[in-house]
Homo-oligomer: A and B are copies of this chain.
Amino acid sequence: MSAPTADAAVARPTSPSATTPSAAGDPITAAVHAAAGAAKAAARVLARQTTTTKNGVLLAAADELLARTAEILAANAEDIDRARASGTADSLLDRLRLTEARVGAIADGLRQVATLPDPVGDVVTGKTLPNGLMLRQVRVPLGVIGMVYEARPNVTVDAFGIALKSGNAVVLRGSSSAALSNAALVGILREVLTRAGLPADVVSLLSSDDRASVTALIRARGLVDVVIPRGGAGLIEAVVRDATVPTIETGTGNCHVYVAASADLDVAESIVVNSKTRRPSVCNTAETVLIDAAVADVALPRLVSALQAHGVVIHGDEPGMEPAGDADWSDEYLSLDIAVKVVAGIDEAIAHIDRYGTGHTEAVVTTDLAVASEFTERVDAAAVMVNASTAFTDGEQFGFGAEIGISTQKLHARGPMGLPELTSTKWIVWGQGQTRP
């Protein structure tokens, strides 16, 4: 059972120097198209499975991952050794590392998805037309989801679980640094599917040896229904720019907290500190604080010293700060750094957010109802918070139970994406021979 699977759809990493031309019709593109085509056929089968069957697979996968923890950790140790040998930073090694506890958490994640409502088959709306036609708009799976993502191997299993529950096949293109871990995980998941009588191609893993497999995946129109990139801003931008398959942009969060003139400064302090320091490396962390000039005399030193007490480095144009350039306003730090700017009022705050924000989460701290209303109405973002930490933008916090990412685009889904966001709809129309005059 612990021998490497020979299954062709689970890519085994070869020499890291192996590269292949990426022209259409080349072996990499052909392999991606074969995997996506197989996924499409598998998706057709999966779409017709009951919730009970899908939940059974999720629970069986959780059990099997736990039972084979040693095998998974051995593969992961090899990834870690390679990464360390190639000089990878400790923080990245930590993202890559699996432990017994982390495998347990991954299995728990699958069990949790099994408890969530199945969106497939939900009737979104329906009506009977004057001519007697009965219309129902029913949730159906999207079909095949392509995932392009970076180091964390837990994403491999999370994506499988959420996709399976929502009736979708998933084609994974993970990081080359996690290639062995991902192959071990996907190999186990495919075995579980086969044992349950479902097509193994409900999940497959592309080779991560060459960027050409990313390009082929994101351009496989007709085979892949949506591509979801998860990773840094560079990865997401490249995928969205080059894709011909529809994409959902996720996770780039240049989030702001605007401390208005009317702010309760106790609230401002706890929200700014929580928004920045709770988990600085995730997308909902605050990257810039905008302080209204009317309260800057008091608020600025207070917030700066509270942040500094938490080890945060302050960037900005005020005395004693690290001098800020355009990148300080436009880029995510994803670290214990924050940019601080004094603004003349709500108009300047919103103009700054319009210019530099990524449409993820924006927060205002205020006791003034008019300011709260204006901020929530005018700011264009997936989530707008009044007197609450930016850290709340999260599928689990919102009560979705599972999250495949946080969409920062306006089409299809905006904000945390749960299971319903991985479905489409179909109009089903029952008649008795009606024709249209």
Contact = CB atoms under 8 A, between A and B. Distances in A.
Q: Is the interface of A mostly helix, strand, loop or mixed?
A: mixed
A381 B138 CA distance: 12
A393 B428 CA distance: 11
Contacts of A334: none
Interface stretch (A21-29, A84-92, A298-306, A370-378): A370-378
A436 B48 contact: no
Contacts of A378: 44, 48
Nearest to A430: B386
Interface in A381-421: 381-389, 391-393, 397-399, 409-412, 414-415
Nearest to A382: B427
Contacts of A278: 435-436
Nearest to A132: B388
Contacts of A427: 382-384, 393, 398, 414-415
Contacts of A266: 433
B392 A434 contact: yes
Of A133, A388, A431, most buried by chain B (CB within 10 Å of CB) is: A388
A416 to B, nearest CB: 8
Interface in A63-96: none
Contacts of A321: none
A271 to B, nearest CB: 6
Contacts of A34: none
Contacts of A115: none
Contacts of A383: 426-429
A225 interface: yes
Interface stretch (A102-110, A239-247, A308-316): A239-247
Interface in A170-208: none
Interface of A: 44, 48, 127, 129, 133, 135, 137, 140, 142-143, 221, 225-226, 240-241, 244, 246-248, 264, 266-267, 270-271, 273-274, 278, 372, 376-378, 380-389, 391-393, 397-399, 409-412, 414-415, 424-436
